[in-house]
Amino acid sequence: MRRLCLFAFGLTLVVVVLGAYTRLTDAGLGCPDWPGCYGFHYVPSSAQEHDAAALRFPDSPLEVTKARNEMVHRYAAGTLGVTILLMALWSLRAAQRAYRGFAWGLLALVCGQATLGMLTVTLNLLPFVVMGHLLGGFTILALLFLLLCKTRSPRLPYRGSGLGGCFLLALGALLLQISLGGWTAANYAAMACLELPVCQGDWPSQWQWSAFHPHGVPAQNYQYGVLSQDERVTIHVAHRLWAMVTALALLRLAWRLWRQPALRHWGVWLALGLSLQLALGVANVVLHLPLAVAVAHNAGAALLLLILTGTGIRLWQARAHPVLMQDLVAATNGH
């Protein structure tokens, strides 16, 4: 079970990165149908297959590179689905029912994620669906990491009190920031502001709350975005402003973790991950969204979520074992 979970976790990391790469290379509609590609189960390569693709989808000319990016992402996601199905079946042999519920819950989530993947194509990159698809991938990644940690022997590194509220505040801020990042990408607003620290001069006068409408402007195709420039500026600025709030919340948590000797390493990882993510965000603006940096920025968000997931597990373990926690407190005080 642990080996399957470890493989699924690594594969989910790959799928999340491939999803970002597919989106950033404008390959979200590289294949206009689902789950195949122009009626094939692979990327059309021969001249005859190209002709067949043109007949089937005359309004969507085949671009082999984009189609390949899309299909590689689908193949990886399909392999992940099969792996989690095996985990769910294998969990029937597990002694603990909690693992069964967890594994089958993951399978249900993957089925929902596959549905969102289909809707991403059939609804022509509707921003709300694209953002939901991104959040679904991050959720699966965090839950697999949680399951990995649960299959290890419990450790109780928590000493002291008051970290729970600080942790929840940081987690909520990060989840909202990831959502804003997904909304920024789905509406092609990453390049709406090309300056630091301001954005297009007097950005408050350009603020448009309509930018956050879940369905946005009705359109037949949402590729490359359909919102106005003012709305894209609004989304970009919101992402930047909330990034500062998130950074303060994460730094506060990192400092609190640093003050707990047995949790100090989590505080260090959190501070380093946050520094890297802020640097990548600045580089995206200064360097005008280079592909490698933009993909790394998506991966950095996943890394921060995993660090917070691991931190939360340690806090929960300590609360679930109050007697052992008292022994740990006594030992730490004695040291």
Is-cis flag, bond preceding 58, omega within 30? no
What is the per-residue pLDDT for 197? 80
What is the per-residue pLDDT for 121? 94
Q: Is 93 exposed, middle or buried (0-12, 13-18, 19+ CB in 10 A)?
A: exposed
Give me the residues paired with residue 40 across strands. 37
What is the per-residue pLDDT for 320? 53
Torsion angle defined by CA atoms of residues 92, 97, 103 and 109, in that order, rounded to the nearest 10 degrees: 130
What is the per-residue pLDDT for 335? 43
pLDDT digits (tens, 9 = 90+) for 30-73: 999 999 999 999 999 999 999 999 999 999 999 999 999 999 99
Residues annotated as catalytic (active site), given as ranges: 70
Please report the DSSP string for 123-160 in residue order: TTS-HHHHHHHHHHHHHHHHHHHHHHHHTSPP-----S
What is the per-residue pLDDT for 203? 79
Q: Is 113 exposed, middle or buried (0-12, 13-18, 19+ CB in 10 A)?
A: buried
What is the per-residue pLDDT for 55? 94
pLDDT < 50: residue spans in the chain: 153-160, 323-325, 327-332, 334-335
What is the per-residue pLDDT for 323? 46
Torsion angle defined by CA atoms of residues 16, 22, 25 and 31, in that order, rounded to the nearest 10 degrees: -170
In this structure, are residues 3 and 65 in contact, taking their beta carbons and an 8 Å threshold?
no
